[in-house]
């Protein structure tokens, strides 16, 4: 390609400017020449900017990978937590069922004994069950008989009762042990208030509360202890009577009937 330069020397001699066309030329399907008019835009960014952009893209990619890995681990942890919770719930249900079964099994001998006692007793079965519901009972770890009552004037209240009195309560009782009774303790409001050491198998006792508190309901129960029947043992078999809840009202009338505790 030749371009004529127009100027002052144009009349004297031509001044030519040579230009090289470096655009790519290719042939189409018909064989005609076509020029690729698309030219690559020059990169005007400095080198350090390109490096920063490349580092930024690499860092963003790494953050995305870390985030994806974190989400994956979080989902896995949630699944494991749910599975562990389900296993613990199943284990707790199984333990509860086992404990319930053991408790029921432990009651079977007592139920058998109760049925035999009701069948052999002179009192009607309903009377025996009523006495149990009203706590006219005691517990013993050996073949020990316990009978504990409270005298209020001419009235006697049984263990397990709740009542009011205008006189200091008097606790009476009798223990018959398989061995000698080594110790009898009367407890009032979780405090030992009277101790006996009879050292015999058949024991009767009586104790009057010297310091009843007016207007207060106190509970009283009696514990008996046999002599040790095993060498080296610090104590023997035990017996406990059901407590009585007694309210002391010195200004009120003496109670002549028991009031079962609800």
Answer whether residue 172 is part of any domain: yes
Domain that holds residue 195: 142-248
pTM equals 0.52
Residue 178 · residue 142 · CB < 8 Å: yes
Answer whether residue 91 is part of any domain: no
Answer whether residue 154 is part of any domain: yes
Count structural domains, the chain: 1
Answer whether residue 167 is part of any domain: yes
Kind and range of the H or E run holding 13 = none
What is the rounded CA–CA span in Å between residue 39 and residue 24? Answer: 10
Q: How many CB atoms sit inside 10 A of residue 4's CB?
A: 10
pLDDT at 35 over 90: no
Answer whether residue 79 is part of any domain: no
Confidence class for position 256, pLDDT limits 50, 70, 90: very low
The pLDDT tens digits for 96-110 are 888 888 878 777 776
The pLDDT tens digits for 130-150 are 777 778 888 888 889 999 999
The pLDDT tens digits for 50-90 are 888 888 988 999 999 999 999 999 999 999 999 999 999 88
| pLDDT value for 13 | 54
Residue predicted with more confidence, 3 or 234? 234
Answer whether residue 77 is part of any domain: no
Q: What is the CATH number of the domain that holds 164?
A: 2.60.40.10
Three-state secondary-structure class, residue 59? helix
Answer whether residue 58 is part of any domain: no
Answer whether residue 195 is part of any domain: yes
Q: 147 has which bridge partners? A: 174
């Amino acid at each position: 390609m030749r371009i004529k330069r127009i100027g002052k020397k144009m009349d004297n001699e031509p001044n030519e400017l040579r230009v090289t066309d470096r655009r790519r030329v290719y042939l189409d399907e018909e064989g005609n020449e076509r020029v690729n008019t698309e030219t690559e835009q020059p990169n005007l960014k400095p080198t350090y900017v390109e490096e920063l952009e490349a580092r930024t893209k690499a860092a963003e990619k790494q953050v995305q990978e870390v985030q994806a890995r974190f989400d994956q681990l979080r989902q896995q942890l949630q699944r494991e937590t749910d599975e562990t919770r389900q296993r613990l719930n199943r284990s707790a249900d199984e333990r509860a069922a086992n404990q319930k079964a053991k408790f029921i099994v432990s009651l079977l001998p007592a139920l058998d004994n109760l049925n035999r006692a009701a069948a052999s007793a002179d009192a009607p079965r309903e009377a025996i069950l009523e006495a149990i519901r009203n706590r006219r009972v005691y517990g013993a770890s050996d073949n020990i008989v316990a009978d504990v009552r409270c005298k209020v004037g001419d009235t006697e209240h049984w263990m397990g009762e709740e009542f009011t009195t205008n006189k200091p309560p008097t606790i009476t009782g009798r223990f018959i042990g398989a061995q000698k009774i080594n110790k009898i303790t009367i407890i009032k409001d979780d405090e030992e208030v009277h101790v006996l050491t009879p050292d015999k198998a058949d024991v009767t006792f009586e104790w009057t509360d010297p310091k009843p508190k007016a207007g207060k309901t106190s509970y009283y129960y009696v514990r008996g202890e046999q002599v040790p029947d095993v060498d080296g043992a610090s104590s023997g078999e035990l017996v406990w009577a059901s407590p009585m809840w007694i309210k002391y009202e010195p200004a009120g009338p003496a109670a002549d009937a028991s009031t079962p505790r609800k």
